[in-house]
Structure formats: structure tokens, C-alpha cells
Structure 1
């Protein structure tokens, strides 16, 4: 949730969930909560370690953090 009057506070999470829904979640949904949890965890691992982000000069978030360290 964003602070009052600060609509940009929540923008990164909105972007993440938008990508999750459009790139990963099946159109017909999941058959169980367990299946959804396992699949979303796979997406988070992919998002942080493999998926390239244009904002990070086409590097993954993990690779960008290593570069910054």
C-alpha cells in the first residue's frame, strides 16, 4: 500500500504483479493453492535470477546487485 498522496510508492509491485499475470499465470488459473504457490515461487526465482530487465541494462536483478557490490 502506498502512503497517502504518494501514488508511485506501489508502482514497482504493480509492475511485478502485472508481469506475473501476463507472462506466467495460466489463463484458466490453477487447480489448487499448492500448485499456485509452487508455480509463483518458480516465477519469482526466474524473475530475480534469469529474466533480463531493460532498466538494469538487460541484466537480471541478482546480476545487477552483484555488479553494484
Structure 2
């Protein structure tokens, strides 16, 4: 992130998207998810959902 701001809206949008996708959702632990990053929490959710669905 630049110290003085972004040159354009497009540059800002790209940098913010990179932050959200690259760090916030992929790596940053969230208290709500039991300390897991959102991506890992979602992966575990779908893994558990699929195993329950295949049980029937």
C-alpha cells in the first residue's frame, strides 16, 4: 500500500482486492471461525457437509 495514496481508482481497487484475497481470507485467523482463516473454515465446512450428505 502506498504511503501517499493511489494514482487511480483502478490501482486502489486492485490493491484492495489483492489484500482481501491474498491475506485477509487466505491467511488471517478470525476469532469467529475458531481461529481459522475463512478459506480453511469454508473448506472444513464443505468437507463435513459432503461426508454427512454421502452418509444417507
Aligned residues: 45
1:1-55 CA-to-partner distances (Å, cap 9, x unmatched) read xxxxxxxxxxxxxxxxxxxxxxxx6664322112101101111102111111011
Gaps (5+ residues) in structure 2?
A: 47-56
- What TM-score results when the alignment is normalised by the length of structure 2? 0.63
Distance 2:27 2:2 in 1: 20
- What TM-score results when the alignment is normalised by the length of structure 1? 0.53
Q: Secondary structure at the match of 1:49?
A: coil
1:50-69 CA-to-partner distances (Å, cap 9, x unmatched) read 11101111111110011112
